[in-house]
Amino acid sequence: MTEKGVEIAPIGGKLGILLVGLGAVSTTFVAGVEAIRKETAKPIGSLTQMGTIRLGKRTDKRNPLIKDFVPLASLDDVVFGAWDIFEDSAYDAAIHAGVLEKALVEDLREQLDSLKPMAAVFSHNYVKRLNGTNIKDGKNKMELAEQLMADIAKFKEDKGCERLVIVWAASTEIYLETSDIHKTVEAFEKAMYDNDERIAPSMIYAYAAIKSGVPFANGAPNLTVDIPALTKLAEQHGVPICGKDFKTGQTLMKTIIAPGLKARSLGLDGWYSTNILGNRDGEVLDDPENFKTKEESKLSVLETILQPDQNPDLYGNFSHVVRINYYPPRGDNKEGWDAIDIFGWLGYKMQIKIDFMCRDSILAAPLCLDLALFMDLAHRAGMKGVQEWLSFYFKAPQTAENLYPEHDIFIQLKKLKNTLRYLMGEDLITHLGRDYYE
């Protein structure tokens, strides 16, 4: 759009946001957008809608809203679609989830009732605690992917969309490690035809999205697109991908507090984290195999931020424990406790206690919105493959092979905003500031 920046295709027409999973997160997201369109609510927590960005020097006093700086799709041009293993409309699913007040859901009943999920690709082996009936059937996993591609094409035509984005907001799958079938596109496609059990449902969605030329964001800790085969496929098809695992409650706090401890060279003896939650996510994570996937995602944060190998006197021997407990009475109102044992000058011990009584879906919903709009922007800007600049939104950010992720939320935000400045031809901001004193 400028000589100095990157050529970005015009917005033009409707943006379809296809959600995998129509549970607590997705219905809270959709209801929120509908309420914002009706001007009965504000998009709190959304960087694309409420965040500002500094341009030039501090003395220039140029701090526009991000949505006024970069060409993002308007909320008025957004259209929703979804897949789910249950046949409930978004209205029924929102009532069942119990995140939002019933009066708000009733006020949006017409819009929510109109969103009915397409049949989903599902494997009980990957999510044992859930059983649904709205499930696709196919002779192999490639045929299931082709059915999803047909869904994508039909939705785009029926809704008159110019562009699409897919966001995975479904349950956490069981733990899976990269194997030989995930290494190349050819091996991956053969495994799909062979119905290989190591091809997870989320990978089938990601494959269908990429082959359809649709950006894909993974909001769960599943491997999904974080395998060489799908990363390569995304690059070949010019499709942006990103993940993993929406950064919402306890891990959000860790990526805020741990950088502060490191910045002040305060040592860490241990960080004990436990959670109680009672929504469908909690029920799924009550299964040890699914919890391991989440645990791996949550445990990686401190090691990467604190870098024990570079700071052995401060972080060389800390204990990091994570627990998640399914407690149905809490529903979506997750409570996260953190007991943090630190030490300071002369090794004197201190403690930090956190009790974060959060609402998981309320924190996740604006992330869905931002990711959808930013992934659409990336696609129109010709960006393809892994979008590390969106690490800000994830517990376990996907990166290039052999590159460790950046977990420090403040560095992540600088990366995100500098990417936007780069796209629009503005000077990157380093915060050196010498020119103010010369």
Burial of 90 (C-beta count, 10 Å sphere; 0-12/13-18/19+): buried
* Cα→Cα distances 338→137, 163, 294, 322, Å: 44, 42, 17, 9
- The CATH architecture assigned to 14-246+361-423 reads 3-Layer(aba) Sandwich (3.40)
Q: Domain-by-domain residue ranges, the chain?
A: 14-246+361-423, 250-357
User: What does the pLDDT look like over 27-50, one tens digit per residue?
Assistant: 999 999 999 999 999 999 999 999
- What does the pLDDT read at residue 1? 40
pTM over 0.85: yes
Long-range interactions of 401-407: CB distance < 8 A, separation 24+? 401/228, 401/231, 404/304, 405/300, 405/304, 406/304, 407/255, 407/258, 407/300, 407/301, 407/304, 407/305
Q: Do 14-246+361-423 and 250-357 come out as alike in CATH topology?
A: no
Q: For every one of its 438 residues, what pLDDT tens digit does the chain have, with 9 covering 90 and above? A: 445 789 999 998 999 999 999 999 999 999 999 999 999 999 999 999 999 999 999 999 999 999 999 999 999 999 999 999 999 999 999 999 999 999 999 999 999 999 999 999 999 999 988 889 999 999 999 999 999 999 999 999 999 999 999 999 998 898 999 999 999 999 999 999 999 999 999 999 999 999 999 999 999 999 999 999 999 999 999 999 999 999 998 999 999 999 999 999 999 999 999 988 877 766 676 777 776 766 776 678 999 999 999 999 999 999 999 988 888 888 778 889 999 999 999 999 999 999 999 999 999 999 999 999 999 999 999 999 999 999 999 999 999 999 999 999 999 999 999 999 999 999 999 999 998 998
**Fold for the domain defined by 250-357:** Dihydrodipicolinate Reductase; domain 2 (3.30.360)
- What does the pLDDT read at residue 3? 52
- What does the pLDDT read at residue 2? 41
